[in-house]
Chains A and B, each alone.
Chain A
């Protein structure tokens, strides 16, 4: 969409009850507050979207529109790197799903963590490939029968928070799509963090992997909730405390880890710029003079 006008012909729909509705709302809240606090126009925000149901958030975003880039499958992180390192003044947010980010796009997480790329990735994890109709993803639970695992998923279930912590991501938050206000706060804190931030959101797929009951629990059915609030006294700056949270299992809600001590890639680049004098093309050419 452009400006604030609705696009009358855009007909993509999330299924009723899709968790991504809540994530979109949370991102809208976070970005609105971010703009107000900094007194910057919406045009300073770029949403880089992966391919999958979640990536369509960039088209379904309501209200005044940020810039968007809906790229190719699995490559939202390097696209975001290009935007951010080309224009360090922009607020760059990635929106992607577990298939896009953690399967085909897995290779891009480690380098961005090592660089501490100053962007915020909001991952909508529904534990399934929704748009291609129900295949298993890295976060699909082991032994689950899906259309691509007819005899049960033979691979171990990936724990994304564990992965992020191991790779050195400097801001890790874990959320749940039904709590957009809490989520918005986590996303905004991720935007504010100078470095690589990932807000990992459990965003259920009502069609192929409806985990609402599992996440919230159901006393009548005797289901204990998977989601649990991280206690207020958790020291998010401690890696060992973060690991303890992750190892408790389930879906912790809140900021798991935040390391503000490492400079981000753009800060490191500014350091290089201070040390190195740029030479003009003419002077570079003259260096080859016969």
Chain B
């Protein structure tokens, strides 16, 4: 039995069969005893039924992406078996119900477990999942007691449910008692630091709460809805407001109103809603109102791919509104960054007094992962410089940033979405349009000190993913480095403005390869406009990069064999 440090299990079937919870359960149980795990999920856009699959990657060491080929496929129905069997690597296992007739395949091992039949024996027909977990515990050689502990905690106080689920685990295990495990994960090593097991959208929401959010207003849209749900439940108390808007137009304008009233405000949406918000974001830029707009990207344009992942909203994020503007953009690349990115987005908005776009994406939003517990005390929170003087203050007089008057206090002015003079009154005079345009752009200078990562920076060629491609990119980079490839690594959450020091480094490279999940190579194009010799490595399947495949593409490009990718198609 081979010893491997990690294992990928995919569960595929129909919505409502417990597929969605299966991967999360495996990951939770595994992280509970000290393994590292992350899930990847893709759902059909319907309430019940429809093909759906989730997977969990479990490892003895931290993992950064959904990974490569599957070790074990759990197929809940015939369709799932046929759809996913080719993604199982040679020597992998397919676990299926006896009602499914597998095709002859000498490279794969098919193992049958009567999920539903065994579940019925427990008296809890919904325990089919647990039968599967029992069988899996044998196949991946993970102590079944880890799952039992998880069940006992999850259903604490409901003894009958616990008993039935424990029985299901035992039945699944007993059924496969004679099967050889696929590998041995080895004993887990519990990290010596505190951890949380959390999904990207939840981490982002908690980050916003730490940043001091007062006001949330949002419209339901996949995959951003969990942020709305979390905020409505938890953003309560004196002076706090979380509410469902009647449209994204209402949502953006509402948070701009709240920002004007002195509050930290946010909305979260996805592509279609983000497009609707364009004019409102321009208003916040023009009137200089702090607010945070989260775009949890899905495939686009129009209704696009609501339940798939893509990084194709960058162009829109950089330029959501008409006219001269440059909206600050952060993009998160991991579940951990969902938390810190939300804090930073608020800090930026408060610091430069304007709208900030926070880009997340489906694969991160729905990813559940164990991460080091963020240290709130060590995560600084910024608040805007509030005007505290007398009446007679001219809000827009300075050519740079100036204190922010809050209604109820002195310094009344008109916040204006029309071009305005130093009083805030509408004007058409060239001198004020020049003054205000330069004032608005000058504030971006305050945001050029963002942090960034670099590794092997002396190499003349670099790889620099953004957003959710960070994990796959990092794993590909590590593979390349262990194979002796001389390549540098760069990464930052801060896409606009880029950290000034990072931009200098990038400009010195012969080639910067940008893995990104869109057709156009949007970020590479931005980098080229900034004088960086950048080239995209694109993928537009609705799924994340596989690290090994990505590494191969980078290698091929460096060897001169790879064709340059679509550029500004």
A interface residues with partner B (beta carbon < 8 Å):
1-3, 5, 7, 9-10, 12, 42-44, 46, 48, 51, 56, 58-59, 65-72, 75, 78-87, 89-90, 107-108, 110-111, 269, 272-273, 276-279, 281-282, 284-285, 288-290
Complex Cα gap A86–B291 (Å):
13
Asked whether, in the complex, the Cβ of B421 is within 8 Å of the Cβ of A67, the reply is: no
B interface residues with partner A (beta carbon < 8 Å):
31-32, 194-198, 202, 206, 209-210, 214-215, 217, 234, 236-238, 240-241, 243, 245-247, 249-251, 253-263, 265, 279-280, 282-283, 287, 370, 373-374, 376, 391-395, 405, 407-418, 421, 423-427, 429
Complex Cα gap A13–B330 (Å):
43
Asked whether, in the complex, the Cβ of A2 is within 8 Å of the Cβ of B410, the reply is: no
Asked whether, in the complex, the Cβ of A89 is within 8 Å of the Cβ of B408, the reply is: yes
A58 / chain B contacts, CB cutoff of 8 Å: 414
B240 / chain A contacts, CB cutoff of 8 Å: 278
Contact of B413 among A2, A44, A75, A273 (CB under 8 A): A2
Asked whether, in the complex, the Cβ of B261 is within 8 Å of the Cβ of A83, the reply is: yes
Subset of 29 A-B contacts with CB under 8 Å = A1-B425, A2-B392, A2-B395, A7-B425, A9-B427, A43-B412, A46-B261, A67-B412, A67-B413, A68-B415, A69-B257, A70-B418, A78-B245, A78-B250, A78-B251, A81-B217, A82-B254, A83-B260, A85-B241, A86-B241, A87-B263, A273-B238, A276-B236, A278-B238, A281-B206, A281-B209, A284-B234, A285-B376, A290-B32
Asked whether, in the complex, the Cβ of B407 is within 8 Å of the Cβ of A67, the reply is: yes
Contact of B215 among A75, A82, A284, A290 (CB under 8 A): A82
A269 / chain B contacts, CB cutoff of 8 Å: 241
14 extra interface residue pairs, beta carbon distance < 8 Å, beyond A67-B413, A281-B209, A290-B370: A2-B391, A3-B391, A71-B283, A71-B287, A71-B417, A72-B417, A78-B249, A83-B407, A86-B214, A86-B262, A87-B262, A107-B249, A285-B210, A289-B195
Complex Cα gap A72–B415 (Å):
11
Q: With A79-B257, A89-B408, A90-B408 as known contacts, state yes or no: A1 contacts B423, CB within 8 Å.
A: yes
B215 / chain A contacts, CB cutoff of 8 Å: 82, 85-86
A74 to chain B: closest residue by CB: B249
Asked whether, in the complex, the Cβ of A44 is within 8 Å of the Cβ of B407, the reply is: yes
Min CB–CB distance A120 → chain B (angstroms)? 15
Complex Cα gap A81–B417 (Å):
17
A3 / chain B contacts, CB cutoff of 8 Å: 391-392, 412
Asked whether, in the complex, the Cβ of A82 is within 8 Å of the Cβ of B247, the reply is: no
Contact of B426 among A46, A59, A277, A282 (CB under 8 A): A59
Asked whether, in the complex, the Cβ of A78 is within 8 Å of the Cβ of B374, the reply is: no
Q: With A75-B253, A281-B376, A289-B196 as known contacts, state yes or no: A42 contacts B412, CB within 8 Å.
A: yes
Asked whether, in the complex, the Cβ of A44 is within 8 Å of the Cβ of B246, the reply is: no
Asked whether, in the complex, the Cβ of A44 is within 8 Å of the Cβ of B373, the reply is: no
Complex Cα gap A279–B410 (Å):
33
Most chain A beta carbons < 10 A, residue from B194, B247, B413, B414: B414
Q: With A70-B414, A75-B249, A273-B238 as known contacts, state yes or no: A284 contacts B195, CB within 8 Å.
A: no
B373 / chain A contacts, CB cutoff of 8 Å: 285, 289
Q: With A7-B425, A79-B256, A285-B196 as known contacts, state yes or no: A108 contacts B246, CB within 8 Å.
A: yes
B394 to chain A: closest residue by CB: A2
Asked whether, in the complex, the Cβ of B253 is within 8 Å of the Cβ of A82, the reply is: yes
Complex Cα gap A289–B195 (Å):
6
Min CB–CB distance A70 → chain B (angstroms)? 5
B418 / chain A contacts, CB cutoff of 8 Å: 51, 70
Asked whether, in the complex, the Cβ of A281 is within 8 Å of the Cβ of B210, the reply is: yes
B265 / chain A contacts, CB cutoff of 8 Å: 82, 86
The 9 closest A-B pairs by CB, nearest first: A82-B257, A278-B237, A68-B414, A86-B258, A78-B253, A86-B261, A288-B196, A111-B246, A82-B254
Asked whether, in the complex, the Cβ of A69 is within 8 Å of the Cβ of B196, the reply is: no
B254 / chain A contacts, CB cutoff of 8 Å: 78-79, 81-82, 85
Contact of B255 among A67, A69, A82, A89 (CB under 8 A): A82
Asked whether, in the complex, the Cβ of B425 is within 8 Å of the Cβ of A272, the reply is: no
Complex Cα gap A8–B564 (Å):
59
Complex Cα gap A65–B236 (Å):
33
Contact of B246 among A42, A84, A107, A289 (CB under 8 A): A107
